[in-house]
Structures are given as C-alpha cells and as structure tokens.
Amino acid sequence: FSRMKPVIVVHGGAGRIFKEREEGCRAGVVRAALRGYRVLRQGGSAVDAVEEAVRSMEDDPHFNAGCGSVLNEKGEVEMDAIIMDGKNLDSGAVSAVKCIANPVKLARLVMEKTKHMLLTDHGAHLFAQTMGIPEVPGEKLITERSRERWKKNLEPDSNPEEFQKDLGTVGAVAIDSEGNVACATSTGGLSNKLIGRVGDTACIGSGGYADNHSGATSTTGHGESIMKVVLARLILYHMEQGMSPEVAADTALDYMKTRVGGLGGVIVVSKAGEWAARFSTKQMSWATIENDNLHYGIYAGEKHTKPVDEALASEREGL
C-alpha cells in the first residue's frame, strides 16, 4: 500500500475580479491552500483540509462567503455551504443560514452529528445553537462593498445580472495521504436574490461532490445553471469514462455553456492525485499545492509557481 502524495486545490470564485481586488483574491486563495496543506502534511484528513481552507476564505472579506457575503433583496446575508467525504459519500450542508461566521463548520456538524444531509434557515439556526456555535451579529458579516452593491442593485435602472459576474463562491478539494478525497463549498449566493433562494452550493452533485472511486470537485458560477446540469457530478462522470480532470472539467463547462448558457468554474482532484482548475468565465482565483510546489492564478493561462516552504515562510512573516 503506497501512501498518496497529498494535494489540495482551492478556488475563490469564478467571474469578474476587479483590478483593485486582484491582489487580495490571490493572497486569499494562496493562504487558504497553505492552511489546508498544513493539515494534510501533518497527516490530517482530506475533510479536515477542505474545511480549514474554506474557513480561511469565509473569514476573508474579499470573498462572497462568510464575512463579505452579498446581500439578499432585504439587505441581509443568507449563506449556503456543503462538505462531502469521498470515503463513504457522507455529506452535510446548510442553506439560508444567517449570523454565523463559518457555515462550512456547521455543514460538517450536520454531516457528523445528525442523520440528515441538509438543514435550512431556522432549523439550521436551532442546530447551530444546540452545537454551541456562537452567533455573530448580522452586521459583522456585512462589508461596505456588499452594502454598496446592494444599494446599486436597488436603483430602478440597475441590472443586478451585470454584477452577478463577480461571484466569489469559495471551495476546496483535497486528497490525503491515505487516498481519501473530500470537497467543500461555501457562498453568500447572488446579490439581491429573493429571500430563501438556495443555489447550487448546498446541493450535493451541483456545488460539490467527492467519491474515492473517482475524485472530488467544487464548483462556482451561476448557481441555477450549475443545478440544471448537476455540474460537479457530471465532471466526475466524465472522469469515470476515462477523461483527465482537465478534459472532464472543460467538457462539462462547455456543455453547461452550450446547453443552458451558463458560465462557471471548477476545481478537481482525481483519485490518482491529478488536479485541474478550469473556468469559462473571464477569471477565477485558484491555488493548488502538490509535490511541495504552490501554483496559483486568476486569468486563463496564468500560473505562478513557487516552493511551498518559501510560501509558508512569507505567510508567517505576513501574519
């Protein structure tokens, strides 16, 4: 039994990333990948690693998840998250949750402490209380930027669709040294969405899927389009038919674009530890660590590489 080389891949959302936010998004996905990788390097599980990576991005206001989530039509934050363990297909998800800092943590508790897979709104809130998860005032999760955008979208001549392009769902996939895979995805959803709207993120097979028999994937982009084609599961299906992660991702994204006109992005890791980060939008912030090298980028064709130890050292100086 040969031990796998652990791999982690993260994304900070597909869409349009404004110039002044690029650096923050790059730094944010790199930090998340390093945190997840540290877990793997210490012998932690893929599930621990993806949770850690996603929590890092939920706490980062650059991303539309946790703190920094976009606002619904009433100006409130409602968040969705999912986590899945490829070993036994266990999964936990929450939807429309308010006033908690890390929805992915709650999703993991749903997976481990209940017989259910998805808890929503008030029920998720009660469960969080039972589990002793501290409540944070809704205001704490709202950034100036989210409020500005919400106001802009309320103007009669506004086009919220225009703004949807800057999406920023976050996600992570990993394979650990035992060959187990996992995925996690978290989002604040669509700006000015109807109250109670649930997108792809909380839905198994759409926002993410993990199966040791094929691999793991986490998606980002237009939620309704992703749900129509069950994007995460579709990618793994293509891999089961023998496609590489990259070809499988491109094939599925291409199908979503031609069939329903939807754009998005995905990260993938196969059961053999091959990975991909692909998108049909203009940009997607992503980072990955494999073989002690960190790779990251935002634009199509962009790929920076540096030794992980160097990255960890500069991360420590920055803390």
**Residue 169 falls in the annotated catalytic set:** yes
Which residue matches tokens 């198994």?
204
Which residues are paired to 304 by β-bridges? 296
Per-residue tens of pLDDT for the chain, all 319 residues: 558 899 999 999 988 877 888 889 999 999 999 999 999 999 999 999 999 999 999 999 989 999 888 888 888 899 999 999 999 999 999 999 999 999 999 999 999 999 999 999 999 999 999 999 999 988 899 988 888 888 888 887 765 555 455 567 999 999 999 999 999 999 988 887 888 888 899 999 999 999 999 999 999 999 999 999 999 999 999 999 999 999 999 999 999 999 999 999 999 999 999 999 999 999 999 999 999 899 999 999 999 999 999 998 887 776 5
- Which residues fall in the annotated binding site for substrate? 197-200, 220-223
Q: Which of 250, 249, 259, 203 is nearest to 227 (CA)?
A: 203
The H or E element that residue 36 is part of is helix 22-41
Side by side, the strands of the sheet bearing 181-187 are 118-120, 90-97, 79-85, 181-187, 170-175, 7-15, 283-290, 293-299, 304-307
What's the pTM?
Answer: 0.94
Domains of the chain by start residue, with CATH = 7-318 (3.60.20.30)
- Which residues fall in the annotated binding site? 197-200, 220-223
Phi (first) and psi of residue 296, to 5 degrees? -160, 160
Tell me which of 169, 201, 219, 281 is the catalytic residue: 169
Q: Which of 9, 48, 65 is nearest to 215 (CA)?
A: 9
